[in-house]
Amino acid sequence: MARVLAADIGGTNLRLALIDDSGLFIDECRVEANLSRHNQNTREDAENYILNSLCDAISPFQKKNPVSGIGIGFPGFFRGPTGILAASPNLPLLNEFALGQRLSERLGIRVAIQNDALCAAIGEQRFGAGQGHENLLHITLGTGVGGGLILNGSPYTGERGMAMEFGHLRVVHKHGRSCGCGNSGCLEAYASATAVSLLFTEKTGINADARVVYEQACDGNKDAALILKKSGLYLGQAIAEAVKLLDIETVTVSGGLSHAWHLIHPPLMAELNDNLIPPLRGKVSVIQSTLGDNAGLLGAAAIASRS
């Protein structure tokens, strides 16, 4: 059975796994690597920094586990399946960089690389709650809000890999909260784990991450419950806009905030159906991921075995 090496690049660390064709994890590890912490001034420095960081993290695991290919989920925008990084918010010097090819040359093996949220969508469709669906919208509710789209069985990236910037759909049009993208009123400013934590601190003066906010809501804290309810409402509103464009029946959701599913799902569905056009009401399922944090790694494994 063919085995591939899958990597999922996070903000401060990198997860690696040896995965077989059936999606079984044979080995895995976590390596510290902060890929946005670079202060290089030239493109060449930035290229060397990213290539060295990734190769240093991946090489030891690769030597221990011979594989037929490597797949990587990366926080950036890629031109289709080419491995060309069109842009990355954390690495502004690396526009139009052939990251997949350069890594392949360094590591001496085929490397497939794609946007991390899109990898999660691919993983969910191949191995998780999206199985059997030719069309799937997958949403990740983590530090930010990401989206990945599968259309007619194929990942859809857009012209520059920037399709489904779901977190930056505008859900509040007047006096919206500022978003990291430079706009205001974006979904990410209300429905990411980061936003939930921030909203709770602003309201109560208590520092708490999204998991604690969820626990507080379960314990009867009305402020925490209202913040999570509003996250669900805004998610429902944004999903309705996507469904009106795409006529998709299945949406899956993963990421830290999805653990609060029983609190966000009811308001989400109510708002979704309120905002859909009548023929679509009641036709859309929004399902919690069955893969959780492993969706991205499994999607990376899937693109490695396809390439």
The CB-of-178 to Zn ion minimum distance in angstroms stands at 9
- Outline where the chain has alpha helix (H): 43-64, 99-107, 116-127, 188-191, 193-204, 210-218, 222-246, 261-275, 295-306
Among the listed residues 10, 254, 14, the one whose alpha carbon sits nearest the alpha carbon of residue 120: 254
Residue number, 69 or 167, with CB nearest to Zn ion = 167
The CB-of-150 to Zn ion minimum distance in angstroms stands at 23
Contact 82, 113 (CB under 8 A): no
Residue number, 97 or 190, with CB nearest to Zn ion = 190
Q: Does 195 bind Zn ion (CB under 5 A)?
A: no
The contacts of residue 305 (CB under 8 Å, 6+ apart) are: 2, 4, 21, 68, 69, 71
Q: Does 181 bind Zn ion (CB under 5 A)?
A: yes
Output the CA–CA distances (angstroms, integers) from residue 252 to 5, 37, 39, 133, 284, in the order listed. Answer: 25, 32, 37, 11, 11
Residue number, 17 or 186, with CB nearest to Zn ion = 186
Binding mask 138-157 for Zn ion (x = CB under 5 A): --------------------
Residue 156 sits at the vertex; the CA angle it makes with 126 and 144, to the nearest 5 degrees, is 85
Q: Does 168 bind Zn ion (CB under 5 A)?
A: yes
Residue number, 115 or 216, with CB nearest to Zn ion = 115
Single residue of 19, 164, 179, 257 touching Zn ion by CB under 5 A? 179
Among the listed residues 56, 16, 60, the one whose alpha carbon sits nearest the alpha carbon of residue 6: 16
Contact 268, 239 (CB under 8 A): yes
Q: Does 187 bind Zn ion (CB under 5 A)?
A: no
Single residue of 4, 54, 121, 186 touching Zn ion by CB under 5 A? 186
Piece in contact with Zn ion (CB under 5 A), picked from 39-47, 116-124, 142-150, 180-188: 180-188
Q: Does 133 bind Zn ion (CB under 5 A)?
A: no
Piece in contact with Zn ion (CB under 5 A), picked from 68-76, 104-112, 186-194, 225-233: 186-194
- Binders of Zn ion among residues 202 to 221 (CB under 5 A) are none
Residue number, 145 or 302, with CB nearest to Zn ion = 145
Residue number, 137 or 179, with CB nearest to Zn ion = 179
Number of chain residues interacting with Zn ion (CB under 5 A): 5
Residue 159 sits at the vertex; the CA angle it makes with 70 and 87, to the nearest 5 degrees, is 60
The CB-of-83 to Zn ion minimum distance in angstroms stands at 26
Instruction: Kindly list the residues in this chain that would bind Zn ion in the complex (CB under 5 A).
Output: 168, 179, 181, 183, 186
